[in-house]
């Protein structure tokens, strides 16, 4: 069940987020501005999911992208949206608080 849920959300097995960030990955936080202001990962960009289509121009396609949100649902949607718009290396980092502990 958990494996199926993770698959649906686009949370892949064992990405080394620390290594990705060390090598220039961008962290895109797709929560609302209010959620972002209440706490976020240092250096992450806030592009709310509902603004992502227009905000993609702020993301470098040549670098890996890690999406995050509160739980992993919106970041999973963001991952799929980015991939369908030509982003190749995209990871769903899940909830920002757990991602913060992995980088």
Number of helical (H) and strand (E) elements in the chain, helices listed first? 6, 4
Backbone angles phi, psi at 40, to 5 degrees: -160, 170
Write down the catalytic residue from 41, 69, 78, 103. 69
Q: Which residues contact 22 (CB under 8 A, 6 or more apart)?
A: none
- Which DSSP string corresponds to 53-97? HHHGGGS-TTS-EEEEESSSHHHHHHHHHHHHTT--SEEEEEEHH
Respond yes or no: is residue 69 known to be catalytic.
Answer: yes
Contact 30, 67 (CB under 8 A): yes
Point out the residues that are catalytic. Answer: 69
């Amino acid at each position: 069940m958990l494996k199926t849920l993770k698959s649906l959300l686009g949370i892949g097995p064992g990405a080394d987020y620390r290594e990705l960030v060390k090598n220039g990955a961008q962290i895109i936080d797709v929560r609302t501005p209010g959620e972002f202001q209440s706490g976020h990962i240092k250096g992450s960009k806030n592009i709310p999911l509902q603004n992502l289509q227009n905000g993609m121009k702020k993301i470098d396609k040549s670098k890996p992208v890690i999406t995050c949100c509160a739980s992993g649902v919106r970041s999973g949607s963001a991952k799929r949206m980015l991939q369908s718009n030509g982003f190749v290396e995209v990871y769903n980092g899940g909830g920002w608080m757990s991602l913060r502990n992995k980088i």
